[in-house]
Amino acid sequence: MITIEEIKEKIEKSIPNSDAEIINERNDGMHFKAIVKSSSFKGKGLLEQHRMVLDTVAEELKRNLHSLSIETHEE
C-alpha cells in the first residue's frame, strides 16, 4: 500500500517547482486527495494540469489506490 509521503514525493519530484499536500480522505489508505501548487501549471488548462499529476501516480492507481481527487493551483 502506498503512503501519503510516497504520493507527495512522487508528485513533487515529477512536477517542477511543485508543492503537494496529500489527504487520506477516508483514512483508509485508498482514497486520497492531492492539492498541488506549481508554477509549471502556468498557461496550462485544468485538464493538462490534472494529467500532469495523474501521470506521476499512474502505476499506483492501477495497483494500490482506489481514488485520487486532484486540485491544482498555479503559483
Number of domains in the chain: 1
What integer pLDDT is reported at residue 10 of this predicted model?
95
What integer pLDDT is reported at residue 29 of this predicted model?
87
Higher model confidence: residue 64 or residue 33?
A: 33
Task: Report residue 39 CA to chain centroid gap.
Answer: 15
Residue of 71, 68, 72 whose CA lies nearest to 31: 68
Whether 6 shows a pLDDT value over 80: the answer reads yes
pLDDT tens digits, one per residue of 15-62:
999 999 999 989 998 899 999 999 999 999 999 999 999 999 988 877
pTM of the model: 0.92
What's 9's DSSP letter? H
Q: What is the CATH number of the domain that holds 14?
A: 3.30.300.90
What integer pLDDT is reported at residue 63 of this predicted model?
82
> Do residues 16 and 38 touch, judged by C-beta distance below 8 A?
yes
DSSP notation for 33-65: EEEEEEGGGTT--HHHHHHHHHHHTHHHHHHT-
